[in-house]
Amino acid sequence: MVNADEKLDCQGLSCPMPIIKLAKTMKKMKSGTVLEMQGTDPGSKEDVPKWCTKTGNAFLEAKEESGVYTYYIRKK
């Protein structure tokens, strides 16, 4: 399990809001810190890893439980 420094709740939001909130939150974080993001948009399964690749942040882990997707991302 990954320990997160910050948490972001995007449950109930649909594209593109989770990625917009993710980008805003990551800008405020320090390099090397980890964000735990939760969302319910199935599109986020593709969007979050692609965003990480595009921005150079590290996509650490993803899991799904009862329709809630949880992602762990380390800021570059």
Active site residues: 15
- Give me the residue label for tokens 């979050």: 48
State which amino acid sits at residue 23: A
Percent helix, strand and coil across the chain, each to the nearest 5 = 30, 35, 35
Structure tokens at 33: 């810190």
